[in-house]
Chain A
């Protein structure tokens, strides 16, 4: 029972903080709320007997990535969200690209709905191999699985991050910078 209360508490904090992140006009508050959300997520991992994942969450997301976010926000010193002129006239805002983006968003919604419907049917059946979770929480086991069984997903993710980085550079560069 305490586990259940803890779950709803942490999940509530995570969801409310995440929702408030989008609602803030001040990017500084958004970042602080996102950190709170990450903290709650890490708490959820601890209740799942995965302390290593919880700490990795704090170190990587709350510790490293959010400090970088803070650095950028402070460097630009943008107190209010304000779309500049070149931003509104960005090539990515052309109708063709915009429709493609809308299509992707529609696909994402369909995917989420499908996943949620499947998840509700999964809850009924008792999950086999539940003990594996405890074994997986050991760092050694986690590393072994990550670099053998899930190595393709692992490498694909690293490529995805690289693509995202290149994309960010391309998007952030102004047209007249060439």
Chain B
């Protein structure tokens, strides 16, 4: 085999480890995914508003993200006079680091040798820890500090309002989010994402896939709504509500420091969709394809959820702020708790 011999011909000390390669691939895939999402968002928005969207750079505007990135790179970096120097610099870094790190425990494929290219089968996924669900949850919840600190350190009232809203929104929706997660964890009996996915293999009655979507329809809806709120996307994009707060927490940011915030947002969307796929849509399990090609199913499902994300953004108007709080505390969280209790009761009943 060509690649395998090439691989073996490397000096063992210089040979990149499998985990190192995996980190490299996932890191770059996330960067590319955020670029594709920027384009997809503008294209789909254009389609929904009966226009073309970006069309001039490259065929059908396909190279628009590259033009955007170059433009942002060459812009001047500004810092407001009264801004807190350290925290102003640190905020976008926290945002983007948390976004990348959250994907570290998300598995995206079954064991594979890449059609015999590798000697030993590897599990697709950067790392497999036995508390993977919690790691994703913990690291994504760290991301809000980037937004809150950006809002506070800018020394601007619009930014401050955006940061305040981000922290309040995070506290309100994280509860429902975690409660929805807990129901799935109880069903699977494991906190490892890989084991949760493997618990969903096979079919009921021979044709209904054993996805937790069918056992937890309410949980899935709660998870997706809370996920949209967690990633600060419309209709829950209060931290940056343009009509009210100029651009919210990132009003005072420019150049690369600004670019890091939308990048973190898009990567968080990918992570949220990937975790939703792993938890509710059976991950890489699907019909027609052999297990080695499962990652194709995974990409398809993630793409579908991402499309829904963009679809919702351009069709649903933004909530009012008091409606957001009311919905989060009076509807979403109680529904999630009821779902958790009902799931626990049913598990006890059927396992007794």
Given the known interface contacts A28-B84, A28-B87, A71-B171, the answer about A62 and B142 at a Cβ–Cβ threshold of 8 Å is yes
Q: Which residues of B contact A68 (CB under 8 A)?
A: 167, 171
Which chain B residue has the least Cβ–Cβ distance from A57?
B138
Q: Does B41 contact A (CB under 8 A)?
A: no
**Could you say which of B10-18, B42-50, B144-152, B292-300 contacts chain A?**
B144-152
Taking a contact as CB atoms closer than 8 A, the residue among B87, B137, B164 that contacts A74 in the complex is B164
Q: How large is the interface on A (under 10, 10 to 19, 20 to 34, 35 or more residues)?
A: 20 to 34
Establish whether residues A74 and B160, one from each chain, have CB atoms under 8 Å apart when the complex forms.
yes
Chain B residues lying within 8 Å of A67, measured Cβ to Cβ, are 141, 144-145, 148, 167, 170-171
A1 to B289, CA, bound (A): 48
Q: Which of A1-49 contact B (CB under 8 A)?
A: 28, 32, 35
Report how far A75 CA is from B161 CA in the complex, Å. Answer: 9
Bound CA span A124–B163, Å: 51
* A157 contacts B by Cβ under 8 Å: no
Q: Which B residues are in CB contact (< 8 Å) with A56? A: 134
Given A55-B134, A74-B148, the answer on whether A64 and B174 have CB atoms closer than 8 Å is yes
Contact A51-B129, Cβ < 8 Å, known A28-B84, A58-B142, A70-B167: yes
Nearest chain A CB to B133's CB is how many angstroms away?
Answer: 9
Summed over the interface, the residue pairs from A and B with CB atoms below 8 Å come to a total of 68
Q: How far is the CA of A52 from the CA of B84 in the complex (A)?
A: 35
> Main secondary structure on chain B at its contact with chain A?
helix
Is A158 located at the chain interface by the 8 A CB criterion? no
A28 to B167, CA, bound (A): 14
Looking at chain A's contact residues, the main secondary structure is: helix
B130, B138, B170, B191 pick with most chain A CB within 10 angstroms: B138
Question: Does B264 reach chain A (CB closer than 8 Å)?
Answer: no
- Give me 19 other A-B pairs in contact (C-beta within 8 A), A58-B138, A63-B141, A71-B171 excluded: A35-B145, A52-B191, A55-B131, A55-B135, A55-B138, A58-B139, A58-B142, A59-B141, A59-B178, A62-B138, A62-B141, A62-B142, A63-B138, A64-B141, A67-B148, A67-B170, A67-B171, A74-B148, A74-B164
Tell me the complex Cα distance, A67–B139, Å. 14
B144 cross-chain contacts in A, Cβ below 8 A: 67
Query: Given the complex, which residues of B lie within 8 Å of A28, measured CB to CB?
Result: 84, 87, 149, 152-153
Q: B67 interface residue, CB < 8 Å from A?
A: no
Given known pairs A52-B191, A74-B160, the reply for A64 and B131 (CB within 8 Å) is no
Give me the 4 closest cross-chain CB pairs, A-B, nearest first. A63-B141, A55-B134, A58-B138, A71-B167
Kindly state the separation between the CA atoms of A64 and B173 in the bound complex, as whole angstroms: 11
Check: B168 CB closer than 8 A to any chain A CB: yes
- Asked whether A156 is an interface residue with its Cβ less than 8 Å from the other chain, the reply is no
List, in ascending order, chain A residues with CB within 8 A of B141's CB. 58-59, 62-64, 67
Q: Which residue of A lies closest to B175 (CB)?
A: A64
A103: Cβ under 8 A from any B Cβ: no
- Per the bound structure, the CA–CA distance linking A23 and B256 in Å amounts to 33
By the criterion CB–CB under 8 Å, are B160 and A77 in contact?
A: yes
B138 touches which of A32, A59, A70, A139 (Cβ 8 Å): A59
B160 surroundings in chain A (CB, below 8 A): 74, 77
Task: Name the B residues within 8 Å of A75 (CB-CB).
Answer: 164
A142 to chain B, nearest CB (A): 11
A-B contacts, 16 of them at CB < 8 A, read A28-B153, A32-B87, A32-B149, A51-B129, A55-B138, A58-B138, A59-B141, A59-B178, A64-B171, A67-B141, A67-B167, A70-B148, A70-B152, A74-B160, A75-B164, A139-B131
Determine the distance from Cα of A67 to Cα of B173 in the docked complex, in whole angstroms.
13
The residues in B between 64 and 100 inclusive whose CB is less than 8 angstroms from any CB of A are 84, 87
Q: Which residues of B contact A71 (CB under 8 A)?
A: 148, 164, 167-168, 171
- The residue of chain B having its C-beta at the shortest distance from the C-beta of A69 within the complex is B167
